[in-house]
């Protein structure tokens, strides 16, 4: 068992923001050396690295713990790693800690550094890789999700408009693709002002849905190409796993060593059981935390497998017969899928090393 304070001479905690980052330097004994704020420009990041180098005597055995590595801290983390330092991702701060010690940027930076000192090395949050296919997939998956949400909102707005105005189309049920295309081909008519404007808006919304649908399909094709060129390619052969879910699994797993066990991967996904026993009642409740995108991908795979896989259906029936609710049974299936996905991804790294 190796403790972080035994591995590194210094720890730098960074509280990140859009315009400025706040840096706090601590020794491995928890002594505070200095705190400074630098802008997030290229010059500001270079000055921050130079300042930390001077205050730590140029030691590369300095651990940088950066908040928001996937957002505000992404560029800083890249620069720090290129400089030869070890980079970790800051854990979320609890509201209870903030209530007891207060909150400002300097306090947060020091807390970020202090929190990791007593941790075991295995519990250090290794940042996800941001290069090659994975970085491209992160951008494409995020953009596709945004477009999918916008498409849903636009269809809902079009449906509400057609239900509130008599424009000659039946919108009592969910709009089909054919009906949306029909609306997009409408032309202006000589009719009362309110109906005329409603028709124009319906045409605009329908055209936007068609545009978004084409973009979503294009992004799915590009995601598939990148997945095939990544370690996640092995997942495509698994029943119920498509290119989108495979990409989500790969984004969460990232690279060998980031998630140290299949149990940790299940916890990351929020599919591990949470003890909720009391007295003579022994039970577990669902975990509603974790990476919700990853959890959603596991749910989609579980539901897909339930629609065609007899073994999965039999497992579902068995769990229901044991007295579990449908949600609890699906959680068990998601846990099984998470185990399988983790093992497949880890095996690809072993094969790569052997090759």
Which contiguous run of DSSP H or E holds residue 354? helix 326-354
Residue 355 pLDDT class (50, 70, 90 cuts):
very low
Residue 16 pLDDT class (50, 70, 90 cuts):
very high
Share of the chain above pLDDT 90, in %: 61
301, 245 in Cβ contact below 8 A? yes
> How distant, in Å, are the alpha carbons of 35, 72, 86, 92 from that of 40?
16, 9, 20, 22
pLDDT in tens, 36-50: 999 999 999 999 999
Write down the pLDDT at residue 130.
Answer: 58
- Is residue 55 over pLDDT 50? yes
Write down the pLDDT at residue 349.
Answer: 64
10, 27 in Cβ contact below 8 A? yes
pTM equals: 0.73
> How distant, in Å, are the alpha carbons of 59, 160, 329 from that of 323?
58, 42, 9
108, 15 in Cβ contact below 8 A? yes
> How distant, in Å, are the alpha carbons of 11, 12, 20, 25, 111 from that of 103?
20, 18, 17, 18, 10
Considering the chain, what is the average pLDDT of its residues?
88
Instruction: Tell me which of 196 and 352 has the higher pLDDT.
Output: 196
Spatial CB neighbours of 306, under 8 Å, sequence gap ≥ 6: 312, 313, 316, 330, 333
CA distance 4 to 346: 25
- Is residue 287 over pLDDT 90? no
Give the pairing type, strands 62-66 and 10-15. Answer: parallel
Residue in 203, 210, 158, 160 with CA at minimum distance from that of residue 185: 203
Measured CA angle at 192 (ends 188, 193), to 5 deg: 75
274, 285 in Cβ contact below 8 A? yes
DSSP 180-191: HHHHHT----S-
For the four alpha carbons of 232, 234, 236 and 239, in that order, the dihedral sign comes to negative
Helix/strand number for the chain, H first, E second: 13, 7
242, 191 in Cβ contact below 8 A? no
């Amino acid at each position: 068992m190796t403790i972080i304070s035994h591995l590194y001479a210094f720890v730098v905690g960074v509280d990140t923001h859009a315009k400025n980052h706040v840096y706090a330097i601590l020794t491995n004994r928890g002594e505070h050396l200095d705190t400074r704020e630098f802008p997030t420009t290229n010059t500001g990041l270079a000055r921050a690295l130079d300042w930390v180098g001077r205050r730590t005597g140029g030691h590369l055995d300095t651990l940088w713990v950066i908040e928001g590595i996937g957002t505000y801290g992404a560029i800083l983390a890249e620069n720090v790693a290129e400089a030869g330092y070890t980079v970790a991702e800051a854990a979320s701060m609890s509201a209870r800690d903030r209530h007891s010690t207060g909150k400002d940027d300097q306090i947060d930076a020091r807390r970020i550094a202090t929190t990791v000192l007593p941790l075991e090395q295995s519990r250090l949050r290794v940042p996800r890789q941001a290069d090659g296919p994975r970085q491209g997939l992160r951008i494409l998956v995020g953009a596709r999700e945004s477009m999918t949400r916008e498409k849903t909102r636009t269809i809902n707005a079009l449906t509400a408009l057609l239900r509130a105005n008599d424009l000659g189309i039946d919108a009592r049920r969910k709009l089909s693709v054919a009906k949306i295309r029909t609306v997009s081909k409408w032309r202006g008519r000589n009719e009362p002002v309110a109906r005329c404007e409603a028709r124009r808006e319906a045409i605009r919304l329908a055209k936007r849905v068609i545009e978004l649908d084409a973009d979503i399909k294009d992004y799915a094709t590009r995601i598939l190409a990148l997945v095939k060129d990544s370690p996640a390619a092995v997942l495509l052969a698994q029943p119920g796993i498509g290119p989108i879910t495979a990409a989500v699994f790969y984004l969460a797993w990232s690279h060998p060593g980031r998630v140290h066990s299949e149990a940790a991967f299940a916890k990351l996904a929020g599919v591990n059981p949470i003890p909720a026993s009391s007295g003579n009642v022994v039970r577990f409740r669902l975990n509603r935390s974790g990476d919700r995108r990853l959890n959603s991908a596991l749910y989609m795979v579980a539901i897909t497998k339930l629609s065609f896989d007899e073994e999965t259906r039999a497992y579902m029936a068995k769990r229901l017969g044991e007295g579990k609710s449908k949600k609890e049974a699906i959680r068990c299936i998601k846990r099984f899928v998470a185990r399988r996905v983790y093992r497949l991804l880890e095996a690809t790294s072993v094969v790569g090393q052997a090759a």
